[in-house]
Chains A and B, each alone.
Chain A
Amino acid sequence: MHLRRISVVTAIAISVLLLCSGLNYGLAGQQFKGVTITVLVHSGHQAVPWYKLAEIVKEEYGINLVVVESPPEEIYTKAMLGIRSKPAKYDIIQFNSAFIADLEPFLMSLDDFIVKSVGEGGVAFGDILPCFREYQDMWKGKIYALTIDGDIFFLYYRADLFENPVEKAAFKAKYGRELEPPKTWEEFLQIAEFFTRKKGQKLCGQILQKDFYGAAFQLKPPRVFYWYLFVYWPHIAAATKGHPHYFDPKTMKPLINSEAAVKALEVLKKATTYMPPGVLGWEWDECFTAFMKEGNVAMTIHWPDEGKRAPELAPLPIPNPPKPKLGVALPPGVKGPDGKLYRYTMIDAAWVAGIAKNSAHPDAAWAVLSYFCSPSFSLERVMAPTDYMPDTGHDPCRYSHIYSPRFLALKPWFKVMVKAYEEAATHGFPLLKIPGSYEYLEKLATYAHQYLSGQIPDAKTALDKAAAEWEKITQRFGVERQREAYLGMWG
């Protein structure tokens, strides 16, 4: 009896000890068990990796990740309304970094997390390409976000066409120089004119089966401002000897109606004469389809999608076309009076993610965000679709992406993009990122488009109107406030 009692007590004690140790083990592995983190994300395929992450953080940290999808045009409103409340409705928001000035009062600076976390919490901030690091993630010298999607622009050209001996000889005979991807906008216009031909004329020595165009852009409002800025930035850089700006940093006087800006808009209008009809109404689909699927456009400037989908490039519209080959380069620049070539690409404001200042669980939010933006998880995101990850729509943004052996093994056609990314990393310029940025850019788009479509007959009048609107916006926000934000935009 006595022995039986001792045995029972011992068994109970051992069971309790085992239970406690199991519990402790579980708790140690699930640091944020029971915590719910809500993330506002871009709907559709961009939401896919967040759902994947939800499974991971549940297992690793015990976090319940609630993913709230929103169409991109509604993200700003939802984010603004959601993170102003206390506690914030969303702990993490995916947002367009163009709105950082508006969102900053309600976002947590990530510097402390990055500096104080062992191994920077796994985000390897220095691995992010400088153009994204500086122009998307930072504001007034502080880190407020981490890049999710490395939206950037490249000049794509038909390398199969540019390398064709018949075309090379004809071009040299006409212009006295080799046919190469354009380095300047002047060269771009020459090449675009050279390649614009009607059905029945010859291309590569063969009869064209449909009309062929020198270039195509995506010029439907409001995004037309992108394609104007590709021309504006190097022009203003050349005019100011390498100090391009949207505003005079001292006075906040808009520079978008300067002589260089007017010249840039005239160049863009000239370029449209070598583009397919209706290009003023083109969105992403039309531009991608014309260049990649129809194969009847020689050059375009677009996001990384063309490079990521290089195998889909259609053959030239001739009876015996060469094997389709994609070329990638920086968009054209302008040679300044100093003889220097000013050449840039735009760092699209694009998609970044940050933590709400009013988040009830900032540490848990950081655990989620740092995992999502870690080099390893982000590599899988930008390589998608793969067996591990369905399509996400995310583009490379790190050195570890563009040099990844796994990426280049799985998608060998991406090699054509590597050099372009290397150049772009240190030749980027940011979209305007001060309060009201979208209004400034939309107004610029409206008047630029009025000129391109013929509603306003001359570029100077159109840009004067845009500049007048910019002045009104600046006055409305306060000149000094905008100036402080504008200087903060550059770090």
Chain B
Amino acid sequence: MRVKESTFFILPVVLVLLVIVIFPLIYSIYVSLYDYDLRKITTDFIGVRNYVEALSDERFRASLMRTGELVLMCVSAQYLLGLLLALSLYYHVDRFRNLIVTILSIPPMISPVVVGYMARLIFHPVASPINYFFELMGLPFRPLWHASVKTSLLTIFLADTWQWTPFMMLLLLSGLMAIPQEYLESARVDGASAWQEIKHVVLPLLKTISVVAILFRALDVLRIFDVVYVLTYGGPGTSTEVASFYVYITSFEYWRIGYGAALSWVLMIILSVLAMIYLKYVIKSF
């Protein structure tokens, strides 16, 4: 009787998962084995030819490199800044901590498309307020931001970092607040300085939450699309064409659905392998 009841309760979720996750996954494998092009009337089975093309696609490889570059930049900067913010809030802010945390929680709640449009104004090549501040401070640079190949990826990085550093901060702050006070008091009683306390007590205890935070952000950045679409459309040239954007234009601008599915699977396999290596390495070090 209990088994039947529990089945009844989990059935809706299972159905939803089947329909919106499992079926599309399986169907996309099927589609990737066909020359499925929305512009063609017929569709032919071509086996792994889409995958072979994906592996030899110079533009796809370049987009993967660019995505990797963005992940490294974003995750490192967001982790370090998030950690700095979390430590500052934990150690130095007591009375207004909740208020500050609430305010800092606003950027992650903004839609990435809106962030992209905001970035178009903030990083405008002529009317950028940041360039205006550079001018006021007497600094010689006036970057063209998203309109130059030299600074376009940096602009995406800045927009993403502005939006998601608070998310990193929130995770790390929650990790900090979960540390038993006795550990910190013991360290202080033993004469540890603030830096020693952070290095030898706090950071090791933050390891688990750090792993999760880094993995979450890395997977998010690997999927980045909205800001790129709105701000640069992969340009100038292809300087901000990340992997997910290339998959999008292949599938929904060129209408090569089969090839787009194959690109998605290649991307997924690469990400899964990287995630497995990362987790294996990290768990080994615990």
Q: Which residues of A contact B (CB under 8 A)?
A: 76-77, 80, 102, 105, 220-222, 276-282, 435-436, 438-439, 442, 446, 449-456, 476-477
Contact B125 A277 (CB under 8 A): yes
B38 contact set on A, CB distance < 8 A:
77, 80, 102
Contact B236 A280 (CB under 8 A): yes
Contact A281 B126 (CB under 8 A): no
Contact B237 A276 (CB under 8 A): no
Contact B125 A281 (CB under 8 A): yes
Q: Which residue of B lies closest to A290 (CB)?
A: B126
Q: Which residue of B lies closest to A446 (CB)?
A: B238
A449 contact set on B, CB distance < 8 A:
235-237
Contact B239 A453 (CB under 8 A): yes
Q: Which residue of A lies closest to B124 (CB)?
A: A278
What are the 3 closest A-B residue pairs judged by CB atoms, nearest first? A278-B125, A281-B147, A278-B147
Q: Which residues of B contact A (CB under 8 A)?
A: 37-41, 124-126, 142, 144-149, 232-239, 249, 252-255
Contact B254 A442 (CB under 8 A): yes
Asked if A455 meets B238 with Cβ closer than 8 Å, knowing A77-B252, A279-B147, A442-B254, the reply is: yes
Contact A277 B39 (CB under 8 A): no
14 contacts between A and B (CB under 8 A): A76-B255, A77-B38, A102-B39, A105-B41, A221-B234, A277-B126, A277-B144, A277-B147, A278-B126, A280-B236, A439-B253, A442-B249, A446-B234, A455-B239
- Tell me, rounded to whole Å, the shortest Cβ–Cβ distance linking A434 to chain B: 10
Contact A221 B233 (CB under 8 A): yes
Contact A278 B144 (CB under 8 A): yes
A276 contact set on B, CB distance < 8 A:
125-126
Asked if A453 meets B39 with Cβ closer than 8 Å, knowing A278-B125, A280-B147, the reply is: no
Give the most central of B125, B236, B253: most A CB within 10 Å. Answer: B236
Contact A281 B236 (CB under 8 A): yes
A453 contact set on B, CB distance < 8 A:
148-149, 235-237, 239
- Picked from A278, A439, A454, A476, the residue with its CB within 8 Å of the CB of B149 is A454
How many pairs, one residue from A and one from B, have CB atoms within 8 Å of each other in the complex?
A: 86
- Tell me, rounded to whole Å, the shortest Cβ–Cβ distance linking A368 to chain B: 27
- Tell me, rounded to whole Å, the shortest Cβ–Cβ distance linking A75 to chain B: 12
Contact A438 B254 (CB under 8 A): yes
Contact A281 B235 (CB under 8 A): yes
Contact B235 A280 (CB under 8 A): yes
Q: Which residue of A lies closest to B259 (CB)?
A: A476
* Cα A220 to Cα B144 with chains together (Å): 14
Given contacts A222-B233, A281-B146, A476-B37, 11 further A-B contacts (CB under 8 A): A277-B125, A277-B142, A278-B144, A278-B145, A280-B148, A281-B235, A439-B253, A453-B148, A453-B239, A455-B237, A455-B238
Contact A281 B249 (CB under 8 A): no
Contact B254 A439 (CB under 8 A): yes
- Tell me, rounded to whole Å, the shortest Cβ–Cβ distance linking B141 to chain A: 13
Contact A450 B238 (CB under 8 A): yes
B236 contact set on A, CB distance < 8 A:
221, 280-281, 449, 452-453, 455
* Cα A450 to Cα B235 with chains together (Å): 8
* Cα A265 to Cα B155 with chains together (Å): 27
Asked if A456 meets B237 with Cβ closer than 8 Å, knowing A278-B125, A278-B126, the reply is: yes
* Cα A449 to Cα B234 with chains together (Å): 11
B238 contact set on A, CB distance < 8 A:
446, 450, 455
* Cα A356 to Cα B254 with chains together (Å): 23
- Tell me, rounded to whole Å, the shortest Cβ–Cβ distance linking A220 to chain B: 6
A451 contact set on B, CB distance < 8 A:
237
Q: Which residue of A lies closest to B144 (CB)?
A: A278
* Cα A201 to Cα B82 with chains together (Å): 48
Q: Which residue of B lies closest to A74 (CB)?
A: B252
A477 contact set on B, CB distance < 8 A:
39-40
* Cα A281 to Cα B232 with chains together (Å): 7
Q: Which residue of B lies closest to A450 (CB)?
A: B237
- Tell me, rounded to whole Å, the shortest Cβ–Cβ distance linking A7 to chain B: 70
B232 contact set on A, CB distance < 8 A:
220, 281
B39 contact set on A, CB distance < 8 A:
80, 102, 435-436, 477
Give the most central of B40, B142, B235, B253: most A CB within 10 Å. Answer: B235
B254 contact set on A, CB distance < 8 A:
436, 438-439, 442
* Cα A451 to Cα B147 with chains together (Å): 14
- Tell me, rounded to whole Å, the shortest Cβ–Cβ distance linking B234 to chain A: 7
Contact B237 A446 (CB under 8 A): yes
Asked if A438 meets B253 with Cβ closer than 8 Å, knowing A450-B238, A453-B239, A455-B149, the reply is: yes
- Tell me, rounded to whole Å, the shortest Cβ–Cβ distance linking B257 to chain A: 10
- Tell me, rounded to whole Å, the shortest Cβ–Cβ distance linking A51 to chain B: 27
A80 contact set on B, CB distance < 8 A:
38-39
* Cα A277 to Cα B150 with chains together (Å): 14
A438 contact set on B, CB distance < 8 A:
253-254
* Cα A230 to Cα B230 with chains together (Å): 25
B149 contact set on A, CB distance < 8 A:
453-455
* Cα A449 to Cα B249 with chains together (Å): 16
* Cα A435 to Cα B237 with chains together (Å): 24
B252 contact set on A, CB distance < 8 A:
77
* Cα A442 to Cα B249 with chains together (Å): 9
* Cα A102 to Cα B146 with chains together (Å): 34
Q: Which residue of A lies closest to B254 (CB)?
A: A439
Give the most central of B39, B142, B252, B253: most A CB within 10 Å. Answer: B39
- Tell me, rounded to whole Å, the shortest Cβ–Cβ distance linking B193 to chain A: 49
* Cα A86 to Cα B252 with chains together (Å): 23
Q: Which residue of A lies closest to B125 (CB)?
A: A278
* Cα A452 to Cα B236 with chains together (Å): 9
* Cα A65 to Cα B236 with chains together (Å): 43
- Tell me, rounded to whole Å, the shortest Cβ–Cβ distance linking B35 to chain A: 8
A454 contact set on B, CB distance < 8 A:
149, 237
* Cα A454 to Cα B253 with chains together (Å): 25
Q: Which residue of B lies closest to A453 (CB)?
A: B236
Give the most central of A76, A222, A278: most B CB within 10 Å. Answer: A278
